[in-house]
Amino acid sequence: MEFHSYSARMNGHTNGNVPKKTSSTMKIVSTVKAHTNDVLSVQWSGSSLASGSADKSIRLWKAAGSNGHQVELKEPNFSPIKEHLGHVHCVTFSSFGTLLVTCGSDGRVIIWDANTGDQIAVAVFPSSNRSALRCCRVSHDSKLIAAAGDGDVIALWTFDKTSGNLTLQKVFSGHDATITSICFTHNSTLLLSASIGNDIRVWDCVNLSDQSLCVWRDAHDLGCSCMDLAPYKLQLSNDVSAYHVATGGYDNIIRVWHLVDRTQKTAVKLLPGGSQLLGHSSDICSLRFAHHAKLLVSCSSDRTLIVWDPVRSSMLHRVGPVSKYYIRSVCFSSEDRFVMAGFSGGMIGFWALAVTEDSAEQNGDLPSPTLTINRSLEDPALQLQFLEDLKIPDEFVCPITQEIMRDPHVAFDGVSYEKEAIQAWLKTHDTSPQTNLVLPATTIISNQNLKCLINRWAESKGKNGSKKLL
């Protein structure tokens, strides 16, 4: 398979390189202009990354060359994929990252081979008016696919990986408003759904009962906007464990829940699981649990991003408000070293996270979430530290790539661009990327003064504890 080199690089840090003074900050390490419209969904599984956008396209990348300090993104030649006829509202990988499932406002669910870009199966949502789909998920064993949206019902399909066939198994009905989010439990026996009608419901994927197993009717005052289920279970007592669930609402609040699975003695129960997570001042757009650590990341229409300790119901760090763009979707990298975010305007951003072995007592009042990288109960309590957020001058950023320029060149419109980016533009355009006016000539000139300023700025950031940026 051919890959296109991608210029985004994310600089991470090892434990020894993180100064204690920056323990309460995060560092945005890269931004990429990925789409021409809002990025509505992002997902990261293994070395595979995906994004879905209101521009009707899907983009995929491979994270390659990770050495503890850098991750380089490379885009395969089949990306971007333009198959959906409307907004792509959700992209999600199977557990091992081999399948990508997408859904959108065209009412279709499409399964892709994440390694080749080949379309494996397509299903049209079972609704007379072909309602827009807002969410889709793959069960952990990859045998079930679920999707829901404006039709107020949830469709459940069985998926045969050998034949690639999707077979409609059940349509769950019970919500009376748009369903914004769904998720499977680890054993693939239960499906949770949340709607803007304020309710959360739990469905039986084994017996396929018509009625939901349990329902919480007033989860959020103004409706649920997003939901996720953690990769771990919590031990509530000696003989009772529970899935950890988080929901975000249009009431600006994140709530955590305990989902107790059925046993021979008890029925399925959904119970409040702790204090509300307060920190956003507008509706919650997206939230995701980390893959290994007991962490939760959320974003809001208030242009902020927050990392939480969901077990202790405490805020670890808040980013923003960011300027220019709204954060529409978030997720953790597969090793929980980065946070990936999709923005309005087509941008994708990455923040670096680092873990140190400092105790909570050494650094004051920051909580110390337990990380379970090796799924070991003996993992020590570790403390997250975040790297300092960079304030990148606007004039250092290429208008085309939206990244710091390494070799700025001036075009006849008087604007500086990254050399390779403006050369590629001028091969197919005779207009300015900024003004859209016709250029009198396509000659470009190296901007050495700007290059020197960028290099000095990058060196100064390196002396302050950051890795070399250019």
Answer with the residue of higher pLDDT: 273 or 5: 273
pLDDT at 172 > cutoff 80? yes
Residue 151's pLDDT is 80
pLDDT at 193 > cutoff 80? yes
One domain, residues 435 and 359: no
pLDDT at 154 > cutoff 50? yes
Neighbouring C-beta atoms of residue 15, cutoff 10 Å: 13
Q: Residue 435 falls within a domain, yes or no?
A: yes
One domain, residues 258 and 216: yes
**Mean pLDDT throughout 320-335?**
86
CA–CA separation, 198 and 175 (whole Å): 9
Per-residue tokens: 456: 């000095």
Residue ending a domain, choose from 389, 423, 453: 389
CATH for 249: 2.130.10.10
Answer with the residue of higher pLDDT: 366 or 162: 162
**Mean pLDDT throughout 188-215?**
94
Contacts of 234 (CB under 8 A, 6+ apart): 241, 242, 243, 244, 258, 273, 311
One domain, residues 115 and 211: yes
Q: What is the pLDDT of residues 63-83, one digit of tens each?
A: 865 444 455 778 889 999 999
- Number of domains observed in the structure of the chain: 2
CB 444 within 8 A of CB 422: yes
Q: What is the pLDDT of residues 431-463, one digit of tens each?
A: 998 888 999 999 999 999 999 988 888 777 654
pLDDT at 357 > cutoff 70? no
The pTM of the full predicted model, rounded to 2 decimals, is 0.73
Residues in the chain, total:
470
One domain, residues 109 and 254: yes
Range with the lowest mean pLDDT among 204-213, 259-268, 328-337, 376-385? 376-385
One domain, residues 310 and 416: no
One domain, residues 258 and 301: yes
Omega cis (within 30) before 393 = no
Q: Residue 346 falls within a domain, yes or no?
A: yes
pLDDT at 265 > cutoff 80? no
Residue ending a domain, choose from 333, 363, 389: 389
One domain, residues 119 and 143: yes
Residue ending a domain, choose from 345, 364, 389: 389
Q: Residue 468 falls within a domain, yes or no?
A: no
Q: Tell me which residue range forms the domain holding 154.
A: 3-389
One domain, residues 293 and 439: no
DSSP SS3 for 60: strand
